[in-house]
């Protein structure tokens, strides 16, 4: 389901019609910040799971 040039152009035109040309830079900035925070969260997630697993194993050892 690849998007070709024509499909991308149609989507961009619809976005411009919906939001207006003046709001597009702010919209793009917001999307960029969202992607950046999502990537940062994904980098932290595996570490958080590992730490949680370590804490669970330590808790189980103390309870024994």
Task: Report pLDDT digits (tens) over 32-60.
Answer: 999 999 998 888 776 655 666 666 666 66
Q: State the CB neighbour count (10 A cutoff) for residue 61.
A: 8
pLDDT digits (tens, 9 = 90+) for 24-34: 889 889 999 99
Whole-number Å distance between alpha carbons of 6 and 37: 31
pLDDT reading at 10 higher than 70: yes
The phi, psi pair for 60, rounded to 5°, reads -65, -35
For position 32, what pLDDT does the model report? 93
- In Å, what is the CA distance from 15 to each residue of 22, 25, 29, 31, 33? 12, 12, 15, 14, 19
Does the pTM surpass 0.75? The reply is no
Whole-number Å distance between alpha carbons of 43 and 17: 36
């Amino acid at each position: 389901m690849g998007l070709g040039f024509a499909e991308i152009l149609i989507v961009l035109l619809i976005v411009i019609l919906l939001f207006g040309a003046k709001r597009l830079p702010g919209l793009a900035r917001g999307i960029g910040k969202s992607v950046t925070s999502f990537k940062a969260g994904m980098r932290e997630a595996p570490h958080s799971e590992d730490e949680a697993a370590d804490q669970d194993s330590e808790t189980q050892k103390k309870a024994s």
